């Protein structure tokens, strides 16, 4: 006999009728306070760990009356192999702590799984084998044995899984022992028509006496966000195309009691997805991509949304208890991967050493030093990208140097005793895992203003479909004043180039990195540039030359971007009173 969740019957339809999902949650017991033998919890925010322990000790579970499942979720690891400096925002200032490392992550995952060993699944949400030196130099191959050693049950390809091209992505993901799932990445035939799906659209699993289902979605904007050649031969579609079909299939034919969307679309898009009626029947959206640290699930109209941070620094843990076909308790928490609490796994440590060995001499090379933290967490301006654009400006002497608004790369923090930190070749690969060639072009001031407005829309638009997932483009040689909350086309207030107001008819020379596959007259998403020219140097060469002359460096925030309505330390694109990045 099938066990039905409330969303299978008329109760869930009352959400739309009543317009009050919070009331629905309380009325139907989804808030988790009605499980027999489980003490009532007054607040989901207080006593997170004690709540999880109480679930595990529930008499209803021990007697087999209720079922308890646990989902452990990581995402956006970006090939960060070792424990690293991690950024936190505490008391209105940055704080750095040691977090992450695959050997520590493995120990922690196994420790958490041991608390509910038969009924725990480990899931990764993508962007795993791009973002570090070993990954880039091996085109992801060296990372696969490490992920397999962790023992993931399910993985989703992220937007950066395409970085080595379609065939290499298929080989790397094909070597995973975990199940793969993605319902919106399609083979594109030579004639441009759509072929079959690259991966299975969903996966089901019997666990704890329950059948649960997972449907996967990558970012439908991937082909536009990144260099077009990366996604050549792949078509991305929006979940709206087929998600309702798969939800119905899982609920009515597979008879799943719980349905999850595993997505790599970014927090804003995932919250918006949770508000769409065509995902009715989904319990949670397990999100990724924007590296957000969701510590309390975000309530959308039809599902709750989570996201587990990045770089292997965090694990999200979701416990759900079902009794008599209904969710009777649920508990979610975001947990730090803390090396002080978990001893690195020896087997993983050995595997990392083996994976890194062919590249060790190269990656260990010190190419410079910094006396200030190199970090990339701020939305508008970052010390790390000021370093990169300063190097481009120094090397090529353009009017404006540009760099993409990347999110990857954990911080590098100076040693408190020496006052500096070594910038190694390995850290350079973390800053710039895509080592593209520098390219120059000329544009008018009017083109510059139009392009800046489009870039602001990609970061600050109120329409989630217009957000490209990255942060603001970075630059040197220019200062801008914006109002982020203004409507599209009206965010840029003033632009100075070399401290002079931009002139619409004047020609400005810009230098940025080449996006492989763009038209020759497109540069950093600026279209119709004049006199485009590749400059014969990749960005790693430029940074190496710059550091050889200028090290030690001390980049910091300089006011290259000033917003009239946002703090310079803005840490998220998501505008919700119930969410804060920290």
For 450-482, the three-class secondary structure string (H helix, E strand, C coil) is HHHHHHHHHHHCCCHHHCCCCCCCEEECEEEEE
Residue 451 contacts by C-beta under 8 Å, 6 or more apart in sequence? 443, 525, 526
In terms of pLDDT, which residue wins out, 471 or 239?
239
For residue 52, what pLDDT is reported?
76
pLDDT, tens only, 18-66: 344 333 333 333 333 233 233 222 233 333 467 877 777 676 776 677 8
pLDDT, tens only, 93-115: 999 999 999 999 999 999 999 99
Closest CA to 58 of 341, 309, 319: 319
- In the predicted structure, residue 218 carries a pLDDT above the cut 50: yes
Residue 437 contacts by C-beta under 8 Å, 6 or more apart in sequence? 513, 514, 534, 535, 536, 537, 538, 539
H helix count then E strand count, the chain:
17, 28
With bands split at pLDDT 50, 70 and 90, how would you rate the model's confidence at 325? confident
With bands split at pLDDT 50, 70 and 90, how would you rate the model's confidence at 534? very high
Q: What is the largest CA-CA distance in the chain?
A: 78
CB of 123 within 8 A of CB of 203? no
Q: What is the mean pLDDT of residues 126-133?
A: 97
- In the predicted structure, residue 144 carries a pLDDT above the cut 80: yes
Mean pLDDT of the chain: 90
User: Could you give the angle at the alpha carbon of 143 between the alpha carbons of 142 and 149, nearest 5°?
Assistant: 115
For the chain, give every domain's residue range: 6-346, 364-563
- In the predicted structure, residue 289 carries a pLDDT above the cut 80: yes
What's the CATH architecture for 6-346?
A: 4-Layer Sandwich (3.60)
Q: What is the mean pLDDT of residues 62-86?
A: 93
For residue 571, what pLDDT is reported?
95
pLDDT, tens only, 425-478: 999 999 999 999 999 999 999 999 999 999 999 999 999 888 877 799 999 999
Q: What is the rounded end-to-end Cα distance, in angstroms, of the chain? A: 45
CB of 253 within 8 A of CB of 268? no
For residue 458, what pLDDT is reported?
92
For residue 27, what pLDDT is reported?
31
pLDDT, tens only, 162-183: 999 999 999 999 999 999 999 9
The pTM (predicted TM-score) of the whole model is 0.90
For residue 49, what pLDDT is reported?
65
If you ran DSSP here, which 8-state letter would residue 237 be given? -
- In the predicted structure, residue 507 carries a pLDDT above the cut 60: yes
For residue 186, what pLDDT is reported?
97
For residue 126, what pLDDT is reported?
97
- In the predicted structure, residue 238 carries a pLDDT above the cut 50: yes
Q: What is the mean pLDDT of residues 140-153?
A: 98
CATH code, 364-563: 3.90.780.10
Closest CA to 218 of 260, 176, 265: 265
CB of 367 within 8 A of CB of 96? no
Least reliable range by pLDDT among 15-24, 75-84, 321-330, 355-364: 15-24
Q: Report the percent of the chain where pLDDT is more than 70.
A: 91
For residue 12, what pLDDT is reported?
29
């Amino acid at each position: 006999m099938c066990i039905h969740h409330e969303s299978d019957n008329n109760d869930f339809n009352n959400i739309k009728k009543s317009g009050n999902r919070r009331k629905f949650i309380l009325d139907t017991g989804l808030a988790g306070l009605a499980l027999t033998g489980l003490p009532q919890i007054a607040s989901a925010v207080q006593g997170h760990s004690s709540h999880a322990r109480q679930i595990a000790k529930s008499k209803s579970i021990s007697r087999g009356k209720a079922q308890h499942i646990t989902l452990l979720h990581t995402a956006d690891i970006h090939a960060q192999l070792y424990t690293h400096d991690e950024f936190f925002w505490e008391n209105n200032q940055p704080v750095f702590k040691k977090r992450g490392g695959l050997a520590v992550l493995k120990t922690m995952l196994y420790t958490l799984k041991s608390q509910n060993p038969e009924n725990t699944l480990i899931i990764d949400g993508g962007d795993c084998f791009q973002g570090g030196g070993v990954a880039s130099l091996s085109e992801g191959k060296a990372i696969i044995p490490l992920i397999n050693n962790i023992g993931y049950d399910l993985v989703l390809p992220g937007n950066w899984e395409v970085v080595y091209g379609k065939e290499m992505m298929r080989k790397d993901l094909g070597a995973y022992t975990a199940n793969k799932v993605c319902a919106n990445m399609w083979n594109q035939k030579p004639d441009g028509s759509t072929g079959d799906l690259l991966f299975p659209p969903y996966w089901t699993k019997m666990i704890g006496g329950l059948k649960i289902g997972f449907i996967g979605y990558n970012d439908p904007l991937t082909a536009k966000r990144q260099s077009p050649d990366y996604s050549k031969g792949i078509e991305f579609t929006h979940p709206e195309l087929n998600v309702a079909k798969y939800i119905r299939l899982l609920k009515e034919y597979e008879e799943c009691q719980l349905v999850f969307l595993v997505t790599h679309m970014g927090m804003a898009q995932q919250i918006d997805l949770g508000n769409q009626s065509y995902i009715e029947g989904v319990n949670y959206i397990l999100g990724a991509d924007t590296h957000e640290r969701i510590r309390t699930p975000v309530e959308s109209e039809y599902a709750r949304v989570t996201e587990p941070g990045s770089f292997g620094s965090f694990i999200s843990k979701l416990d759900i208890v079902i009794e008599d076909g209904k969710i009777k308790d649920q508990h979610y928490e975001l947990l730090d991967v803390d090396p002080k609490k978990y001893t690195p796994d020896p087997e993983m440590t050995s595997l990392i050493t083996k994976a890194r060995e062919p590249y060790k001499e190269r990656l260990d090379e010190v190419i410079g030093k910094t006396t200030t933290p190199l970090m990339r967490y701020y939305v508008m301006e970052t010390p790390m990208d000021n370093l990169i654009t300063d190097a481009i400006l120094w090397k090529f002497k353009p009017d404006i140097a540009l760099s993409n608004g990347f999110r990857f790369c954990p911080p590098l923090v100076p040693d408190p005793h020496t006052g500096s930190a070594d910038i190694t070749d390995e850290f350079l690969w973390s800053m710039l895992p895509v080592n593209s060639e520098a390219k120059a072009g000329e544009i008018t001031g009017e083109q510059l203003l139009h392009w800046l407005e489009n870039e602001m829309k990609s970061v600050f638009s109120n329409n989630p479909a217009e957000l490209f997932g990255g942060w603001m483009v970075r630059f040197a040689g220019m200062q801008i004043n914006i109002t982020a909350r203004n409507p599209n086309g009206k965010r840029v207030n003033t632009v100075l180039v070399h401290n002079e107001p931009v002139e619409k008819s004047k020609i400005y020379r810009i230098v940025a990195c080449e996006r492989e596959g763009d038209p020759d007259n497109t540069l950093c998403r600026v279209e119709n540039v004049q006199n485009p020219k590749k400059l014969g140097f990749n960005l790693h060469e430029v940074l190496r030359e710059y550091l050889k002359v200028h090290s030690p460096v001390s980049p910091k925030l300089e006011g290259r971007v000033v917003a009239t309505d946002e703090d310079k330390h803005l840490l998220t694109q998501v505008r919700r009173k119930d969410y804060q990045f920290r």
